[in-house]
Amino acid sequence: MQTSLFLQPGNIDQCQLHALGGAEIHEFPQAFPESEASTLLSGLLRDIPWRQEALHIAGKRINVPRLQCWMGDRSSLYGYSGMRLLPIPWHTTVLTIRQRVQALAGIEFNSVLLNYYRDGKDSVAWHADNEPELGTDPTIASVSFGAERYFQLKPKQRGTANNYRLLLRHGSVLVMGKGLQSQWLHQLPKVEGLDLPRINLTFRQIL
């Protein structure tokens, strides 16, 4: 039977569990094999209409240190840090990626935020993805292509657990489960001297 290929929450041979205090991450280090991941990376670099978004702080426009694209069903309007992002329609390559990710996560997603880190100077600062439109404690699936970078995590309440980090491999998927957005913060720090691009897709369910 087809569904038996996908034991929940994914292909168990390939799944590594990271148990953090009060939260779990399921990592699929090779959800997309090397050559497929490389084809997907170059397709996304070429085809996605990457945009420079900006924050407006104290009357100043500050560019976020990465390029982005918000994609999804028409209803999935999303905003954070004062930004409103209108989704563009699904790109076929991204739909192919979503299919694999949904099978691993065992749930459906109606939107995705794509981030393009052009080199080690691009980054994302400490945050949790806990905007009201994601509901309470959402499951978010994160796909990485390109340069390997560290994903750092720290508990929101200091002293309740040790900080944690994991390497985001080319073609890997992280399924960030319950507790991760409510109890933890995450970031992708800058890397000195890194001259290679990375693309990340975080699949979400906007309610």
Ligand X SMILES: O=C(O)CCC(=O)C(=O)O
Question: Which residue ranges make up the site for ligand X (CB under 6 A)?
Answer: 113, 115, 124, 129, 142, 151, 168, 186, 188, 200, 202
Q: Which does 142 bind (CB under 5 to 8 A by kind): ligand X, Mn ion, none?
A: ligand X
In the numeric block, which tokens belong to residue 124?
A: 């994302």
Helix or strand or coil: residue 37?
A: helix
Q: Which residue is nearest to ligand X (CB)?
A: 200
- Whichever of 6 and 129 has its CB closer to ligand X, that residue is 129
- Whichever of 3 and 67 has its CB closer to ligand X, that residue is 67
Q: Shortest gap between Cβ of 184 and ligand X (angstroms)?
A: 11
Spell out, one character per residue from 129 to 168, where the chain touches Mn ion: x when CB under 5 A holds, - when not.
x---------------------------------------
- Whichever of 6 and 166 has its CB closer to ligand X, that residue is 166
- Whichever of 8 and 63 has its CB closer to ligand X, that residue is 63
Phi, psi for residue 159 in degrees, rounded to 5: 85, -5
What is the rounded CA–CA span in Å between residue 109 and residue 96?
Answer: 13
CB 106 within 8 A of CB 133: no
What is the rounded CA–CA span in Å between residue 90 and residue 95?
Answer: 7
Q: Which does 139 bind (CB under 5 to 8 A by kind): ligand X, Mn ion, none?
A: none
Near Mn ion in 91-130, by CB under 5 A? 129
Q: Shortest gap between Cβ of 187 and Mn ion (angstroms)?
A: 8
Radius of gyration (Cα) for the chain, nearest Å? 16
103's CB contacts (< 8 A; 6+ apart) are: 5, 6, 10
CA 149, 203, 67: angle at the middle one, nearest 5?
55
